Amino acid sequence: MAVEKKAKRPRKSTTELRRLNEISMLDTARYFFDVAAERLELEDWVRKMLRFPKRKLIVNIPVQMDDGTIQNFEGFRVQYHPLLGPCKGGIRYHPDVTVEEVEALAVLMTWKCSVMNLPFVGAKGGIRCNPAEMSKVEIERMTRRYAAEIAPIIGPDQDIPAPDVYTGEREMAWIVDTISMHNHSFMPGLVTGKPKVLGGSEGREGATGRGGFYVAQETLKHLGMNFRDTNIVIQGFGNVGYHMAKYCFDQGAKITAVSDVNGGIHNSNGLDIPKLKQHLKDTGSVVGFADSERVENKDLLELDCDMLVPAALENQITEENADRIKAKMIIELANGPTTLEADRILYERGVFVAPDILANAGGVTVSYFEWVQDRAFYFWDAGTVDHMLKRYMTEAFQRVLGMHLDHGVEMRTAAYMVSVNRVAEAARVRGLYA
Ligand code: GLU
């Protein structure tokens, strides 16, 4: 296994560590931005400009529910400065969505697009709601009203939304329909992650998992390992977790544990992923799968394995559990799964982390391909999409790995350095416009 070259990070006092662990995902993104800015010796005005997004929109969405009552939902769209091209990022429906979370995710999208060399900066949207307790018609009314409210600031050249947590093709189709109807013209380039019949791309659905698989492949190569000798634990078995599991399983890796919101399952000899997918379809959960034992979601992260893949929500690897994580490598398919303090612990313990802005960028990369296809009204076959995705993921991994090895910084700082450098270059040549 390759020996990781380590840069010294200053030790922090216990009080400061406690404070660091309490800080939010947004502060974590800002912290790594500051570290990268310092190392890149960015000019003060560039730092000040890049540290904050351009716009935060908060909208109120009154929806008539099926029982006739009216409920108000709060919706958000946050956009970064469009220095490299239009803004890009998903829309999430979740009871815990806040404007701060959406802002953090928009900032992360900026660094994600930049590290991948895409002509986009970040954006993110969200509605605070619980789609699990809403009917399809209620979700449709809410989606269309939200689309109408954010219409003035989105568009194929301005800001292109996409799916995120608890949204998918269905919601994207409603958004295309709503805005196309308002504009009296069909606008497929308005969102990505659409159904294929409306201009969606081949390979978009499994793209985040497929991209994560390529990052895992490069990580294993770097560490002198291969899929056949690798045990993998995956937290989350939604679209992202499932596709990651499937592609690694197909290459001979042992997926020893997975989980969903109902809990986790474990089999040290490996789970049969196609059979598990069927079980999920039949029962609605991974729990209860025949050849497995139950494991609590929190214990799953600490299981013995080579590769840990958080593919659910943020803040899962924390100061509390980072010391007990046994994996040699972590492939972050969720956005922001590791807190700042946990990140430091993992680094000191020599765990190789493929950071979220690199590891889960497969989704937005195929979104970029979808947008390109929509602009040309010329559609690629599945093989072309996959070939291009592999190229983008592998090249981005190598850029970040090169920075990591050359500067002796951990992979997350390396990814931020690659990414911030590109946005800063654009800011420099465009200027502040003030
Ligand atoms: N929601 C995905 C992400 O966080 C995809 C965004 C997109 O395709 O624009 O990366």
Pick from 136, 123, 138, 133: which is nearest to 61 by CA? 138
Q: How far apart are the CA of 363 and the centre of ligand 1, in A?
A: 5
- The pLDDT tens digits of the residues spanning 235-261 come to 999 999 999 999 999 999 999 999 999
Question: Among all chains, which residue has been given the structure tokens 């499932």?
Answer: 242
Task: Return residue ranges of the chain for CATH 3.40.50.10860.
Answer: 53-190
The predicted-structure confidence for 341-360, as pLDDT tens digits, reads as follows 899 999 999 999 999 999 99
Give the ligand 1 atom nearest the CA of 90. Answer: 1
Residues of the chain with CATH 3.40.50.720: 207-359
Distance from the CA of 291 to the center of ligand 1, in angstroms? 34
pLDDT in tens, 367-400: 999 999 999 999 999 999 999 999 999 999 999 9
Q: Give 269 Cα–ligand 1 centroid separation in angstroms.
A: 33
Superfamily of domain 207-359: NAD(P)-binding Rossmann-like Domain (3.40.50.720)
Burial of residue 157, with CB atoms counted within 10 A of its CB: 0-12 exposed, 13-18 middle, 19 or more buried: exposed
Catalytic one among 5, 12, 48, 124? Answer: 124
Probe ligand 1: pick from 77, 79, 109, 191, max atoms within 8 Å of CB?
109
CATH dotted code for 53-190: 3.40.50.10860
Give the full edge-to-edge strand order of the sheet including 329-331.
293-295, 263-266, 254-260, 231-235, 307-310, 329-331, 352-354
The per-residue pLDDT for 16 is 53
Say what percent of the chain tops pLDDT 90.
90
Instruction: Please provide the average confidence, as pLDDT, over all residues in the chain.
Output: 94
Atom number in ligand 1 closest to CA 160: 9
Bridge partner residues of 64 (DSSP): 70
Residue 9, pLDDT score = 46
What residue has token string 């400009």? 49
Q: Ligand 1 pocket by C-beta < 6 Å: which residues? A: 88-90, 162, 164, 192-193, 335, 360, 363-364, 367
Reported confidence tier of residue 23, pLDDT bands at 50, 70, 90: low
The verdict on whether 277 is a catalytic residue reads no
